[in-house]
Amino acid sequence: MSDIVDQRIDVSPGVEAASEARFRGRAGESDRQPGLKARRVLRPQGNRVP
């Protein structure tokens, strides 16, 4: 059985890189859970939303 979690976080213009770095660098409980396969950070591409 697999669970998928999706979370969308709106970020103010001009602070995208800092927000992404903070999110990627945080120590999260989910990263230490058995069975975790991946954690991905998706960004909008032009006018497309991931």
Res 28 pLDDT > 60: yes
For residue 50, is pLDDT > 60? no
| Residues in CB range of 43: below 8 A, 6 or more apart | 16, 20, 50
CB 31 within 8 A of CB 5: no
User: Is it the case that residue 16 has pLDDT exceeding 60?
Assistant: yes
Q: Please, are residues 29 and 22 in contact by the beta-carbon 8 Å criterion? A: no
Total residues found in the chain within this entry: 50
* pLDDT greater than 60 at residue 15: yes
Q: pTM to 2 decimals?
A: 0.50
Instruction: Compute the average pLDDT of residues 16-42.
Output: 78
Tell me the average pLDDT across 15-20: 87
Tell me the Cα Rg of the chain. 13
pLDDT at residue 49 in the model: 60
Q: Is 44 helix (H, G, I), strand (E, B) or coil?
A: coil
